[in-house]
A and B are shown apart, each in its own frame.
Chain A
Amino acid sequence: MTIDKITTNDVNPEDEFSLKKLVGKKIISKSGRIVGTVQDIIIKNYSIIGIITTRSFASPLFIDKIYFDSFKEDAIILKIDPVTCIVGLNVFDKNGRKLGKVTNIIRETNNNEFSEFFVNQGPLKKELNFKHMDIETISQNVILNIEFDSK
């Protein structure tokens, strides 16, 4: 069905990007992790400023458009791996000792950085606290660059 138009510009809405189609599409991080799906698109002063994504077992997340690498009807690819994605990952020290799962991160601002994170060792065990600089690498797991002494 063709779309009737009221406009002074030479524009064909059929050829343009429909935001409605974006709702429900995947948001993919820089390393290919599926962050969530688009729940809503946020507009300020007639421009898109970001999107809100739904996440499993967590509150919705707003991601600023400055972190978009690719913004298409089918998916949004981010320039970053959102720091919120490390919650739930397993943590190992540099000697291969499994410490537990990340439960929380501390962020001083709303940008994509964190200063500290907490690790749940399991029931009846003390929660561990580490600094961002204690991390060697983050991917499927969090690997620390330090040895943890359990004593």
Chain B
Amino acid sequence: MKDKSPFENVSNDKNIITSDDILGKDVIDFSGHTIGMITQLHIDKNNKAIVGISIDTGFMKPLVFVGIDLVKNFGVDAIYISKTPSSRYLGLLVFDKNGIQVGKVIKVKLYGSSAIKSLTISTGLVKKLKIPARYLNKIAINIFLKISIDELSEIEQD
């Protein structure tokens, strides 16, 4: 009887995917925002298991590592993750409570790995402003503050 190829079962198993099926795909968070594109798979060489993915979040933006436990599923055209990396907020517009555009997010500081501690925004060519999380009203496609642009000058800067 002809021996079965060890690869035969694997190639027929629809639950098995390859790096080609993952690399280059969009990564979308739970709220429907596109985070970036997968560029690397990270593999534990002792356990021979994928431990995470690296995401290219855009031009001049940092690569983001997301642990495999945060990957909800590997889709045909996109990968869904269950958490929003802080890099998602980079480049978002910031509006004051009256809708005046204040600037763009250039840096995010977190408490540990989750809650936002502060945002640093670029308000002009050179000028930057650090805004503690307590002044943030809403974060969605862009960011709304709880205060007006005039009140921003009262925030203490480090």
Q: Determine which residue in A76, A93, A95, A140 has the highest number of CB atoms from chain B within 10 A of its CB, and name it.
A: A140
B28 interfacial contact with A, CB 8 Å: yes
Measured as residues with beta carbon below 8 angstroms from the partner, the interface class of chain A is 20 to 34
* Contact residue among A92, A93, A96, A140 (Cβ-Cβ distance under 8 Å from B141): A140
Q: Is residue A31 contacting chain B, with contact meaning CB distance below 8 A?
A: yes
B100 at the interface (CB under 8 A from A): yes
Stretch from A58-66, A67-75, A110-118 contacting the other chain: A67-75
CB neighbours (8 Å) of A76 from chain B are 99
Q: Mark A76-108, 1 if CB is under 8 A from B, else 0.
A: 110000000000001011011110000000000
Q: Which residue of A lies closest to B101 (CB)?
A: A26
Indicate if the CB atoms of B140 and A141 lie closer than 8 Å.
Answer: no
Question: A32 contacts B138, CB within 8 Å?
Answer: yes
A72 contact from B30, B93, B99, Cβ within 8 A:
B99
Indicate if the CB atoms of A140 and B77 lie closer than 8 Å: no
A74 → B minimal CB distance (Å): 5
In the assembled complex, the CB of B104 is this many whole angstroms from the nearest CB of chain A, namely 12
User: Are B31 and A96 interface neighbours, CB within 8 A?
Assistant: no
A92 near B78 with CB under 8 A, answer: yes
Which residues in A have their C-beta under 8 angstroms from that of B144?
32, 77
Q: Determine if A119 is an interface residue (Cβ-Cβ < 8 Å).
A: no
Residues of A within 8 A of B79 (CB): 96
Q: A32-B143, A96-B78, A140-B32 are in contact. Are A70 and B97 (CB under 8 A)?
A: yes
* A139 contacts chain B at the CB level, 8 A cutoff: yes
Write out the residue numbers on chain B whose beta carbons fall within 8 Å of the beta carbon of A26: 99, 101
Q: Which residues of A contact B126 (CB under 8 A)?
A: none
A96–B25 alpha-carbon span in the complex (Å): 10
Q: Give A9 to B31 CA distance when docked, in angstroms.
A: 51
Cβ contact within 8 Å between B142 and A139: no
Binding site for A on B (CB under 8 A): 25-26, 28, 30-34, 73-80, 92-93, 95, 97-101, 138, 140-144
Top 7 closest pairs, chain A to chain B, by CB: A96-B75, A75-B99, A32-B142, A31-B140, A98-B77, A139-B32, A96-B78
